[in-house]
Copies of this chain bind each other. A is one copy, B any other.
Amino acid sequence: MGSTRGKESGILLAAQVVCIVLFGIFVEYDPAIAPRNNSTEAKQLTQATTAQFNNLYPFFQDVHVIVVIGIGLLLTFLKQYAYSSVAYNFLLTCYVIEWSVLVNGWFALIGTTETKIYINTKSLLDADFAAATVLISFCTVLGVTSPTQLTVMATIEVIFYNISFYVGVGIMEVVDVGGSMFVHGFAAFFGVGVARVLYREAQTRSDKEDSTYQSDITAMIGTLFLWLYWPSFNGSPAEGVGRQRAVVNTILSLSACVVTTFAISALINRKGKFEMVHVQNATLAGGVAMGANADLIVHPFGALLIGVAASISSSLGYSYLQPILTRRKLHDTCGVFNLHALPGMLGAFVSAIVISMATPDVYQESYSMVVRGDRTPALQAAYQIGGLLVSTAIALFGGVVTGLLLKLRVWDNLENDELFEDSIFWKTHDEPDDLSVEKIEMKE
């Protein structure tokens, strides 16, 4: 590769300038947080918004932690790729926050006469969901992509994410409050598309694709924060009592998922031992599968069942499916297929079943949130499956297209011996050429 690695700086600076210009043109404060006049209506709006904000903010911060600490630390399990893991995660989050405020905002303008995007904490929460989606896709190609490739991928993925979301949630009115299909499923299949196209045999032979004792513990801190704040992830987009139901359902599902994962991990290990790969990952599958069901009335025992099923699908995925996929030339560094695709699909199917049994008597005033418009429950259930298909199709298409673009050897693409290695793009302790030290020495 050599010395020509200034590309990423240029792309980031250009993207930042473009974002500032577009923000100048399109983005303005929500009137509720910067009232334009002194009318009674403006005051009432402000008060109502402040109350909503006070209730949303703790959820928002939890989601923020999930994205930056949760995913960021979970990725540090690789022994020589911790700088890259945590830092690219951080960079992509911030870039996607800016970019998806714009793209999410434009999609929200479709069909309205508005021309401005009004920003508030809810917009930033939506941006965090977009960021989570991009970061999950990033996990599939962790260690085998340059930051330049990742920046390009993020730029494109945010658009496809919005298309999928617009078609699925906007037009088809699929129920998916916590994003089993439109966050996790989409992200996994998009990532799988990219990873499949970028596959090369050298990926499967690197002895750097391994963890250390300490890196496993740091990664585990990420897992724990993901587990702890997942109820806020699933609950934050929910409305009214649905939010508390989402919290209760998600905690039950995640708890059952952890218990089951430990049991299965020791069962399928030949020596009957626990494996960290399961404990770090499959323990979270219950949150993924609960996404589409979080505010539904699945009953407490049903929440536990969903957690158990998610754990089984994910744990078995890690131990049996992943080696097969690798042989089929799909190298998925973090096993996103097992943690997000399988439980995401499970969540979609379960939501179809649960919704097919919905009655106004059970859901009372939230019935119209679950069975949309004048559909029958059976029809809404069909839409749930349809949503899964749409999200998967758009994700795979977008991922493959993006992968083909990233394969062009103009994005600082990595050589075979540069995989899973920080030192390619990072100043490490082996290098004495510190610019600062040098400067001092030069002058002395």
Interface on A for B, CB 8 Å cutoff? Answer: 3-6, 8-10, 12-13, 15-16, 19-21, 23-24, 27-29, 32-38, 42, 46, 49-50, 53-55, 57-59, 61-62, 64-65, 68-69, 72-73, 76, 82-83, 86-87, 90-91, 93-95, 97-98, 101, 119-121, 124, 147, 210-214, 216-218, 220-221, 224-225, 227-229, 232, 240-241, 243-245, 247-248, 251-252, 254-260, 262-264, 266-276, 279, 283, 297, 299-301, 304-305, 308, 318-320, 322-323, 326-327, 364-365, 425-429, 431, 433, 435-437, 439-440, 443
Contacts and interface: CB of A to CB of B under 8 A. Distances in A.
Contact of A97 (B251, B274, B308): B251
Given A217-B86, A425-B273, A245 B37 contact: no
Contact of A437 (B72, B97, B232, B323): B323
Contacts of A221: 69, 73, 221
A436 to B, nearest CB: 4
Nearest to A240: B50
Contacts of A34: 241, 245, 297
Contact of A82 (B82, B213, B264, B364): B213
Contacts of A210: 429
27 contacts: A6-B266, A9-B262, A20-B304, A29-B245, A32-B241, A33-B241, A38-B364, A49-B241, A50-B243, A57-B247, A61-B62, A65-B228, A68-B224, A83-B276, A86-B217, A87-B276, A90-B258, A91-B259, A119-B248, A213-B429, A214-B214, A270-B435, A271-B433, A273-B426, A319-B435, A320-B439, A323-B440
B256 A19 contact: yes
Contact of A9 (B23, B62, B263): B263
A319 B427 CA distance: 13
B263 A3 contact: no
B251 A20 contact: no
Contacts of A297: 29, 34
Contacts of A269: 427, 435
B262 A12 contact: yes
A304 B10 CA distance: 18
B86 A252 contact: no
Q: Would you list the 10 A-B pairs with minimal beta carbon distance, nearest first?
A: A94-B258, A23-B301, A12-B263, A24-B301, A94-B255, A5-B272, A9-B263, A27-B300, A58-B58, A323-B436
Contacts of A228: 61, 64-65, 68-69
A215 to B, nearest CB: 8
B426 A259 contact: no
Given A57-B247, A58-B61, A95-B255, 20 more contacts: A12-B260, A13-B263, A20-B304, A29-B245, A58-B58, A69-B225, A83-B216, A87-B276, A90-B258, A90-B279, A90-B283, A91-B262, A98-B252, A120-B248, A124-B248, A213-B428, A268-B435, A273-B427, A274-B427, A323-B439
A427 B275 contact: yes
Given A269-B427, A433-B271, A440 B326 contact: yes
B279 A97 contact: no
B300 A9 contact: no
Contacts of A36: 364
A250 to B, nearest CB: 10
A241 B4 CA distance: 48
A84 to B, nearest CB: 9
A425 B140 CA distance: 29
B436 A319 contact: yes
A437 B326 CA distance: 10
Contacts of A247: 57, 121, 124
Given A28-B300, A228-B68, A271-B3, A262 B8 contact: yes
A168 B213 CA distance: 44
Nearest to A65: B228
A35 B365 contact: yes
A267 B6 contact: yes
A50 B119 contact: no
Given A13-B260, A245-B29, A217 B433 contact: no
